[in-house]
Amino acid sequence: MKAKLLFFSLFALFFLFGCTPKEEIIIPEVFYTVTFNVDGGSSVDKVVVESGKTITTPNTPTKDEFIFSGWFSDESLNTPFDFSKPITGNTTVYAKWSEEPISYLDLIEEDMALLEMPSTVGQATTIVLPKIGTKNNSTITWGISDTSVMNSHGIIFHPTKSEDDVNVTLIANFSLEGVTAKKEFQVTVPSIESLVIDDKIELPFTNMTSEYTVLDTALSTFYAVDNAIPYVDVTEFLAMIDGLIYFEELEFIETENGLIISYSIEYEETDDLGNVISTETYTYEMTIDFELDTVTVDSLSFFDGYIQETETDYGAGLTYLDSYVEDGDEVTFYLSDYRFDLIKHEVGDETYFLFPFHIANLLFTSGSYYNVYYNGDAYYGIYSFPDPDDEEGETEDGRAFLALKESSLNNTKIHPEVLVSTYDMLVFTLDHFYGLKEQRGITSYYDVLSTTRDSFMTGKTRDLTNGLFNIVNKTLDDLHSSYHFSGFYEPYTHRLSLTSISQVGENVHQWYDVLWSVQDVLEAAYPDSENNLPPDYRFIDNNKTAIIYLDGFETATVEDPDGPDSNRFMQEVMAAILEENPNVENIVVDLSYNTGGNLGALLRVLGFMTEEPIEMSYMNPLDNSRITYFVEVDTMAKTDVNWFILTSKVTFSAANLMTSIAKDMGFATIIGTQTGGGASSITPIVLPDGTFIHMSSLNVLSYRIGNETDGYTYFSIEDGITPDYVLAVIDSQNNLKIAEVIEQALSN
């Protein structure tokens, strides 16, 4: 084809230059003049244009006290001149001026005169800031002198009770056809006041989990004037969740300013034969001050000691021995700093000690995975995480999700008080219950969220939903913090999920980069296996070494007793390994693709590796408590082999803890690359709009250095564990490389 085209081109060239026209034809050029009749306005120069060409629109003339209205082709000013039409003769174009001058400033001033603002916003949480003038449709944008108490969407963030009223200057910037003007208003934003309760209704409560025997009932729910935030009596709320807690053990004492709640626990110390050698009684106490809006506990252990055991025995096969405890400090929650109000509500001889429902739920269920979910119509008791993917309701988690998500408030605009309360509670929760706050050097999450607050605090339901999704996934930038589902103001079918790596923060992004690298290694190593995963175990190095592949820590539940269970898996795999080679010398537990799971399962796996009691430490950054448990595992360990743990950055959470414990206690050698960290257990959180998330809790897994005489120093394992011997990710399934590293470790 190229040869043919070249031949044609040469032929055409020869033809063009090989022939001469018989006669040259010359066409003369013709030009015309276009004159602009400005009718007394500023002059516009004539234009000379070649016949058949068009002209461009000239500069707009001006005329005192008149507004230019356009160019016309006739003197009677009926036909607008078409500048796209070719010029075919001398032409005059006529300027048209408005007979009655238009002053855009006058129009703006009319809109300005009609715009009024109140001198104070009272206790409202929104103020209407119009965007369009009511008469002449001028555009209005707003400037706020103090955005800490009001944003440009009219959302109000009242000063707290301990703060002074704030005087704010609102600047309304008007614009119309390029003309601008502004009008200022002085508005007082008063500090928050105690709410006045004016309504009480009974809402049904349904327990949706078999993990706790909590009876279905009804809960008295109180609302303040023109407010949608539910309030509940603290005693009635605690009585309702009897079965999750030991309600009968609680003692309630009314005080001048509020209420004291206390209970006692008797601890027994036993000898090696199980005989009780001493007893000690601890009393835990909470003081609630309804004037100061404070909740004080002697330590955060108050919220743990009254929690009952789950039906699923997550501690099966585990015996807790002595523990080392550094008691926590007293903690006071200053609720008014977050615009929350505790109300002592009296009706006749009856006194109700009212909490904002979501604060009561957060505080009193924080020692468990249980939550009470309010959806505007009813309450539901849920355990762990309701499942939005179980659309048929085949599991408890699926049925719970279907029940609580269906609300009369679906697909409606979020109530203004609920909007602000959701924001405030998110900050309160992060400030007090987020396990990484201190490590990240954060004083308050009000400071962190202030830069993006106005993008989601607009008054629109979807803006809040998207904002919360971004905060959890990107701002927190923490693999132990996740967004589960949106609130009940959204349509019932609304779902949000991660679809792009750009939706997460830098730390999580880096973790996923390694995850994908590990997946590539597995796919290359096991192209024919199901999901490209290794076998449960395999032998290498002439059967001297067995490698157990373990990608999670799971415990069969009471609902699914035959479900995945790591202890059962290890029993079966160890039996198979020893049957195939009773003289195996080395066993590697491959955690390079293990992202974690529950701690009970982890401890039972460790029981196959050592007969020593497992040492497990925590610290709490809020009350500064420290504790170290010693756990005996009811499993016969295989101690006559060399144990190894294979890691990568994907090795996270419980897998990270297993690595830390094994290295600290010295019963296994760590090979691979630094683990991904994840020190905190997770805690599920329900926000006032119904958004359901989980985040890193205050139970920060740690290791300790020191002794009882000189004291101990605790260190978080959030940043991961360094291996004893490095094995690159690309070699994590390379049998020869694994054997080489094992030989290196054994020779040292």
pLDDT in the model for residue 279: 82
Q: What is the CATH number of the domain that holds 155?
A: 2.60.40
pLDDT digits (tens, 9 = 90+) for 529-547: 888 999 999 999 999 999 9
**Phi and psi dihedrals of 449, rounded to 5?**
-85, -10
- Which residue bears the tokens 């276009």? 34
State which residues form the domain around 129.
104-189
pLDDT at 205: 98
Q: Is residue 542 part of a domain?
A: yes
Residue 61 belongs to domain with CATH number: 2.60.40.4270
User: Which of 149, 164, 189 is the last residue before a domain boundary?
Assistant: 189
Contact 703, 717 (CB under 8 A): yes
* SS3 labels along 483-537: EEECCCCCCCCCCCCCCCHHHCCHHHHHHHHHHHHHHHHHHHHCCCCHHHCCCCE
Which of 161, 575, 466, 553 has its CA nearest to residue 334?
161
CB 354 within 8 A of CB 361: no
Helix 599-606 and helix 654-665, axial crossing angle in degrees, nearest 10 = 30
CA 545, CA 174: separation in Å to the nearest integer?
78
Sign of the torsion angle spanned by Cα atoms 380, 381, 386, 390: negative
Element of type H or E holding 8:
helix 2-18
Say if 158 falls within a structural domain: yes
- With b for 16 or more beta-carbon neighbours within 10 A and e for fewer, the 639-652 pattern comes to eebbbbbbbbbbbb
Give the span between the Cα atoms of 107 and 104, in whole angstroms.
Answer: 5
User: What are the structure tokens assigned to 528, written together?
Assistant: 């024919």
* Under 8 Å between Cβ of 179 and 205: no
| Rounded-to-integer distance, Cα 717 and Cα 734, Å | 28
pLDDT at position 315, please?
78
Q: Are residues 638 and 662 in the same domain?
A: yes
Is the residue at 491 inside a domain?
no
Strand order in the sheet with 350-356: 343-347, 350-356, 231-233, 217-224, 197-207, 379-383, 370-374
Same domain, 661 and 587: yes
Question: Exposure of 550 by Cβ count < 10 A (0-12 exposed, 13-18 middle, 19+ buried)?
Answer: buried
> Would you say how long the chain is, in residues?
748
- Identify how many contiguous H helices and E strands the chain contains and give both numbers: 15, 32
Q: Which are the contacts of 305, defined by CB distance < 8 A and separation ≥ 6?
A: 263, 265, 282, 284, 367
Q: Looking at 102, 124, 155, which one is the last position of a domain? A: 102
Q: Distance between CA atoms of 658 and 664, rounded to whole angstroms?
A: 10
* Weakly modelled stretches of the chain, pLDDT under 70: 1-28, 99-102, 270-274
Question: For the chain, how far is it from start to end, CA to CA, in angstroms?
Answer: 71
Looking at residue 274, its pLDDT comes to: 65
CA-based angle 468:478:402, to the nearest 5? 50
Do residues 108 and 94 both lie within one domain?
no
For the record, the structure tokens of 76 come out as 């009677």
Pairing of the two strands 379-383 and 197-207 = parallel
319 found inside a domain: no
Give the residue from 611, 720, 709, 714 showing the smallest Cα distance to 673.
720
What is the reported pLDDT for 5?
A: 31
Same domain, 158 and 84: no
Number of domains in the chain: 4
Kindly state whether residue 453 falls inside one of the protein's structural domains: no
Give which of 678, 645, 676, 681 is closest to 663, Cα–Cα. 645
The pLDDT, as a whole number, for residue 28 is 60
Q: 262 is written with which tokens? A: 């206390």
Together in a domain, 530 and 623: yes
User: Does any domain span residue 58?
Assistant: yes
What is the structure's pLDDT at 612? 94
Per-residue pLDDT tens over the stretch 40-68:
999 999 999 998 899 999 999 988 778 88
User: 85 with 108, same domain?
Assistant: no
Tokens of 572: 């079966």
Alpha helix locations (H) across 546-653? 566-580, 599-606
The number of C-alpha atoms within 13 Å of 82 and in the hemisphere containing its C-beta is 7
How many angstroms separate the CA atoms of 56 and 83, rounded?
6
Residue 731 per-residue DSSP state: G
Helix (H) or strand (E) holding 636: none
Name which of 219, 221, 217, 239 is nearest 229 in CA terms: 221
Confirm whether 490 is domain-assigned.
no
